[in-house]
Amino acid sequence: MCPYPWYQVMRFSKDKKQQRYQMAMYAFKHGVKPTARVYDTSPKTVRKWIKRFNQGGYEALSDMSRRPNRSPGALSREESAHLVKLKAKYKRIGADQIKILEKLSRSARTIRKTWRNAGVSSRQRRKKHITKQNLRAVKKQFRLFERCCEDTKHLYDIPEYWIQMKRLRLPKIQYTFREISTGIQFLGFADELSLIHATLFTEYINEHLKKFGLILPNGYRQTDNGAEYCGAWSAKKPSAYTLAIEKADLIHTTIPPGAHRWQSDVETVHNLIEFEFYEIEQFKDRYDFIQKAYTYLLFFNLERPNSYKENKSPWQLAKEKNPGITQEALMLPPIDLDALLNKKFAFSTQRGYDVPSTP
């Protein structure tokens, strides 16, 4: 007589086929009901394994798949093909973002599984040897626009964008502003990296923030040590950019030399905008480029959830920190800094030494 019920023997057995084989052999010799009493199970269970053994031998005693013959929630071929086409369209954008952009009902996990089965899944990110310090809780405590950072991004090293840039004379440099606690970003574009462009961009941002009462006295504006922010390396006086920051009652700080991770907030959006915008968009001319950049900016600031910030959009986080803020404060259009510079200094009528080097 078996000291344990049959279901418990099966639960902990490492070789279920062998146990079932022994049951079948005992049943051939002593009968079905005596075997059921010995193994503490029902005659129906004994008959099932005898039948399986007679039909397929020892190998038929394995567990059979319990997968249903028809799954009502399974993807159709047309839906699977559509998901594969979306991956080709959006390239490196992940399943979570494509689900939002296309308003898909399927979960991100299902989308990724479909890509994997079709052999079009995204490449795995290389594991970092240095673990970044997680400052999420610290950044959350900052007041809105208390700490912001600015940086520039070279656009001529993006293969998908380079051909359009050369053919349509699109901008080569992106000037980026990002608020640290919520992730709000503003954009400017130019054909070159220069102090005058950086200064015009920060004045453009400061005027907008001042209009909505979002300038905090003694707030911090962080940049790297590039010449576009600090001027010449041998400069004895503050640069025009620093003076523009101080004019708005802010403090200009720079990161320590080589400490690139101090700019991680703005570098993160540089990575995102590369595969969410530059790699997938097609442009007609420079005006069309600015308009599409504005559309992306509205999506990023008002709609796009940030998985690092509780899956909330910058607008939702800003509303929590400042209930009186309006959406217009986050809707500053990207600025063509070259056009602004030409308008401000009338480059078309100035030549040679008449062209100013600083605002």
pLDDT digits (tens, 9 = 90+) for 159-175: 999 999 999 999 999 99
**Model confidence at 284: pLDDT above 90:** yes
Mean pLDDT of the 301-330 span: 93
pLDDT score for 328: 96
**Model confidence at 126: pLDDT above 80:** no
User: Model-level pTM?
Assistant: 0.76
pLDDT score for 308: 83
When pLDDT is cut at 50, 70 and 90, the band that residue 278 belongs to is very high
Contact assessment for residue 198 and residue 175, using Cβ atoms and an 8 Å cutoff: yes
Mean pLDDT of the chain: 89
When pLDDT is cut at 50, 70 and 90, the band that residue 200 belongs to is very high
When pLDDT is cut at 50, 70 and 90, the band that residue 1 belongs to is low
When pLDDT is cut at 50, 70 and 90, the band that residue 72 belongs to is confident
**Model confidence at 134: pLDDT above 80:** no
Mean pLDDT of the 67-86 span: 88
Dihedral, CA of residue 289, residue 292, residue 293 and residue 299, to nearest 10: -170
Kindly give the pairing relationship between strand 147-154 and strand 173-179. Answer: antiparallel
Contact assessment for residue 257 and residue 289, using Cβ atoms and an 8 Å cutoff: no
Distance CA 321, CA 316 (A): 9
